[in-house]
A and B are shown apart, each in its own frame.
Chain A
Amino acid sequence: MSLPSYGKLADNRPRWLQQLATFIRLVKRDKGGAFGMLIVILLIFCAVFANHITPYDPSLQNLREGKTPPAWFPKGSGKVTPSWAHPLGTDPLGRDLLTRIIYGSRVSLTVGVFGVLLACSLGLIIGMIGGYLGGRVDDIIVNVINIMLGIPYLLLVVVIATVLGRSLINVILIFGITDAPVFVRVTRSVVLRARECGYVEAAVSIGAQNWRILFEQILPNLVGPIITLGTLEMSNLIFAEAGLGFLGLSVPPSVPSWGNMLNAAREYILSYPWMAMWPGFSIMITAVGMNLMGDWLRDIMDPRQRRARR
């Protein structure tokens, strides 16, 4: 399809316009990925502007309007008639479910973003040390990583969360630390490959210091794989956080989060099934969006992988 660009005319458009054109081309090539990115952007928007989007307070109780079904439900299923004032209905305490979903995205995103940031920084540091130094240090790191990956993840998290107690910081710490091994493994393998490259050898031979080689020669190789892995892991963490919440182990029960909402909905699954639907849908849509975006990013950042996936 695309010819070599030797004979191409000089592109005189401003740099940002060229970048925009490249971006649009990438979006057109993989519609799924663009769709995923749209979902993620929407999610971030909801989380940031939650208090501007919805007129309700997420924890304001209004018992008279409690147990309202979603707006499109037929009338007569309860004492309260459904209305568009509460599009997704309310819970037994009369709190607007749409509002709680929107506010819940804050918890999910915070845990996802900061958990991945922590895991990724730990993974980068440990993986770069192990991969670059090699020898005894690397052996120890590899063994510890294998040990950590051998433990059933969910159970470990449940044990730690039970002991530490419910708070946002604890949840981020738990996921940030238990998720680090995946990042260590990827970092290490990239560093090992990069260390054998000619340009690293050249840097060594001109007497560059270790930290300079690590940051200037090797780190750029890591950007692509780490961003891709980070996106996919973020969806995993959001999943796991909601799961912990479902078991009543995540953020305190007063905080509106998707996991806590599912936990509360469990009791009412027989009489008010809609309560359980929305948090689940939100988690699902978020996971689909982040997975699609992650696959898309992998295609862009690592074109060699593309053929294997198609």
Chain B
Amino acid sequence: MNRYLFNRIIQSILVLLGVMCLVFFLLRIVGDPVQMWFSGRTREIDPETIAEFRRSMGFDLPLPVQFINFMRKAIVGDFGNSFRYKLPASMMIIERIPATLKLTSISLLVALIVSIPLGVMAAVKSGGIIDDIARTLALISQATPTYWLGLVLISIFAVKLRWLPSSGSENWKHYILPVACLALSSMGGLIRLTRSSVLEVLQEDYVRTAVSKGLRKNVIYYRHILVNAALPLVTVIGMSLGGLLGGALYIETIFAWPGMGRLVSDAVGLRDFPIIQGVAFLTCLIVVCVNLLTDVIYTFIDPRIRYGD
């Protein structure tokens, strides 16, 4: 167990290092961040300013030196100053984290509350009406683009009916539309997975034994089936967080939500690279940590699993 945990932690660190290297070299080798920052300006900019900017950002040093500087700072969470706002990128990002986490965690919760009971019922009464509903909902959820759903919901509930606000994050009303979008988009995978893992457990010998012992249905459902079917779900919850954070990129842009996603999509338009790098790294950090955590939880809830003893 300890050895496994150790390996997993090493692997997680490697993921983060890999992401940082990728982000750094891609930006420096494929293009010149300073050139990209100044390109597309209507006004002619004199070379003096460009050179000055390059010096102040440390982009005039040789590539290996730049890389070492970048890594040394990135390890302590310093990604340099935003080109646009001249403020530390990490500070700007940290300010935005709570809004994004609130949005994604509420959406995940809503998605779980809907999809787990639906998936279980669909599997237990496989082939019935609930099964049809669950499968249709899963298909719709997987086939509807999040970014489009956001636009549709706005044009119906905010423009036509005027029931809900289309942007901002002040009170609970502002949460309804973005949360609905994000939750619906991650529901499909969760329903499908719950359904198939319950179906699998249903065929196990111990379920048949429980039925033939004459146990009550509820006891079988909760003690025998759901507990065992929950195992693969734990990993998927960890994995769908990555998808949710990605979806937040669209949703925050559409609903003007003051989170990391909107910060990135604004930074993409401005070619403000320190912010893009910082968010990429931080999102990876969150996802990697959650995946590590789910793996550890996995071994606790299922004592049958022992890694590398």
- List the interface of chain A (C-beta within 8 A of B): 143, 146-147, 150-156, 158-160, 162-165, 235, 239, 242-243, 246-249, 262, 265-266, 269-270, 273, 276-277, 279-280, 283-284, 287-288, 291-292, 308-310
Contact = CB atoms under 8 A, between A and B. Distances in A.
Interface string B265-286: 1001101000011011001100
Closest 6 CB pairs of A and B: A154-B246, A280-B148, A287-B143, A273-B155, A152-B242, A276-B151
Contacts of A246: 147, 250
B152 A147 contact: no
Contacts of B249: 154-155, 158, 247
B271 A162 contact: yes
A19 to B, nearest CB: 30
Nearest to B7: A143
A266 B155 CA distance: 11
A277 B26 CA distance: 36
B148 A269 contact: no
A68 to B, nearest CB: 18
A258 B96 CA distance: 30
A247 B151 CA distance: 13
Contacts of A160: 26
Contact of A287 (B142, B268, B269): B142
Interface string B204-237: 0000000000000000000000000000000000
A269 B283 CA distance: 30
A276 B155 contact: yes
B144 A153 contact: no
B145 interface: yes
B26 A262 contact: no
Contacts of B15: 147, 150-151
Interface in B1-57: 11-12, 14-15, 18-19, 22-23, 26-27, 30-31, 36
B137 interface: no
A262 B291 CA distance: 33
Interface of B: 11-12, 14-15, 18-19, 22-23, 26-27, 30-31, 36, 126-127, 139, 142-149, 151-152, 154-155, 159, 196, 199-200, 242-243, 245-247, 249-250, 253-254, 264-265, 268-269, 271, 276-277, 279-280, 283-284, 287-288, 291
A153 B143 contact: no
Nearest to A246: B147
B276 A162 contact: yes
Nearest to B254: A266
A288 B26 CA distance: 35
B21 to A, nearest CB: 11
Nearest to B31: A163
A191 B199 CA distance: 27
A308 B264 contact: no
Contact of A270 (B36, B159, B199, B246): B159
A288 B154 CA distance: 23
A254 B107 CA distance: 36
Contact of A147 (B18, B126, B247): B18
B145 A159 contact: no
Contact of B30 (A151, A164, A277, A288): A164
A265 to B, nearest CB: 7
20 contacts: A147-B18, A150-B15, A151-B18, A152-B242, A152-B283, A155-B246, A155-B280, A155-B283, A159-B276, A163-B30, A243-B146, A246-B147, A247-B253, A276-B148, A280-B144, A280-B145, A280-B151, A287-B145, A291-B142, A310-B126
